[in-house]
Amino acid sequence: PTIIVDDQRFSLGMIMDMVPGGNIVEHVQTIRNIKAREDDVLICTYPKSGTHWIWEIVSMLRKGKAEYDPRIKETAMLELISKDQIEAMESPRNLNTHFPLCMLPKDLLDTKRKIIHVMRNPKDAAVSMYHHFKSEKIGVGHVYPGTFSDFLSLFFCLEMGANGGWNKYVTDFEKFAKDNPDYPILSLYFEDMKQDPKREITKVAKFLDVPYTEELITAVAERCDFENLKKANQEIKDDYITRKIAHDGKQFMYRKGTVGDWKNWFTVAQNELFDETFETRMHGSELKFKFVL
Ligand code: A3P
């Protein structure tokens, strides 16, 4: 579906059939008007950029214990929960969303609640999203029937992907941080988290202003490592969302968890076109993405 917010048109490809009440336009308005709490933290990511990963890190750091949250991050995802559910959530709330900047709750922005923005290189995000669509039978009742090549064409014509477009999503946050130097926003890269998880988790702890020790950071890094988190998701969490939408039991929230898987999917020609498009769409941006480690 397409939605217009502040004269900006968005094509919202993911999760939009799943909003409470079923009406995305109404739900976006509801979300924009929720009331902030003093200790709210908001995690913002373009889909498939490591949302589950950072959510678990944040929840462990705020608890001060490297213990998995028995809930899934979707229980705190603005797209999926109703106003009543958001209001009934216990504090502190670790909210998360793929909504673009202009759809975020106004009160949270006005009262400068902390935002953590995680970015991932768009080639890997595209491959990950393709697998998500291939495994998700929500909405139309069947999985995405096309090839990777078809998907990539769609990714380009939707201004590089769903949810308003990857490049617009990340550069809106970049501009916001530049225009509002006093706003507490932490921007992280998936690739840096992969390369040096302890360094990046320490950044998060400092940003959240929580007490931490070297032991806690090490334990959080280990527990949130891809294999461990994947296992925990299967064994500890009641992941009713994945169960409901998975096609043939396929795992897509924790699929591969690597940097550079795109190389197994892109042809040379597709890669050239992607680089060209990336160059044009990201013109003027100072964001630096790593496509390999
Ligand atoms: P892949 O499909 O490339 O494996 P999101 O949580 O935003 O939906 O992002 C999902 C992507 O993050 C998936 O990418 C998933 O495997 C990866 N991921 C999840 N937890 C991870 C972790 N602890 N370390 C590395 N990647 C992780």
Tens of pLDDT along 18-46? 788 878 888 989 999 999 999 999 999 99
Ligand 1 atom index nearest CA of 131: 2
Per the listing, tokens 């902030």 go with: 36
- What gap in Å lies between CA 27 and CA 7, rounded to an integer? 17
Instruction: Please give the model's pTM, rounded to 2 decimal places.
Output: 0.94
And the tokens for 79? 């797209």
Residue 127, exposed/middle/buried by CB under 10 A (0-12, 13-18, 19+)?
A: buried
Residue 244's φ and ψ, nearest 5 degrees, are -70, -35
For position 241, what pLDDT does the model report? Answer: 75
Radius of gyration of the chain (CA): 18
Q: What is the pLDDT of residues 165-224, one digit of tens each?
A: 899 999 999 999 999 999 999 999 999 999 999 999 999 999 999 999 999 999 999 999
Q: How far apart are CA 27 and CA 19, in angstroms?
A: 7
Condensed to tens digits (0 to 9), the pLDDT of residues 227-238 reads: 999 999 988 887
What number does the ligand 1 atom closest to the CA of 132 have? 2
The residue ranking higher by pLDDT, 134 or 95, is: 95
What residues line ligand 1, using a CB cutoff of 6 Å? Answer: 45, 47-53, 124, 128, 131, 194, 224-226, 229, 253-257, 261
Q: How is residue 282 written in tokens?
A: 């990201």
Output phi, psi for 140, to 5 deg: -70, -10
The pair of structure tokens assigned to 161 is 């992907």
Where do the domains of the chain lie, and which CATH numbers do they carry? 2-281 (3.40.50.300)
Distances (CA, A) of 230 to 50, 88, 158, 177, 236: 13, 28, 31, 32, 10
Residue 193 and residue 199: Cα distance in Å, rounded? 8
Which positions are annotated as active-site residues? 98
Length in residues, the chain:
293
166 C-alpha to center of ligand 1: Å? 17
Who's near 46: CB < 8 A, 6+ residues apart? 98, 119, 120, 125, 161, 163, 166, 169, 170
ipTM over 0.90: yes
DSSP conformation letters of 4-24: EETTEEEE--SSGGGSTTS-H
Quote the pLDDT of residue 13: 56
If you take atom 25 of ligand 1, which residue's CA is the nearest one?
A: 257
Instruction: Give tens-digit pLDDT for 234-268.
Output: 888 877 777 777 777 777 789 999 999 999 999 99
Q: Check: CB of residue 90 under 8 Å from CB of residue 97.
A: no
Strand-pair partners of 9: 4
For residue 144, which amino acid is it?
A: Y
What's the 113 CA to ligand 1 centre distance in angstroms? 25
Helix runs in the chain, H state only: 24-32, 51-63, 83-88, 106-110, 122-135, 148-157, 166-179, 190-195, 197-208, 214-223, 226-235, 240-245, 268-281
| 8 burial level (CB within 10 Å; 0-12, 13-18, 19+) | middle
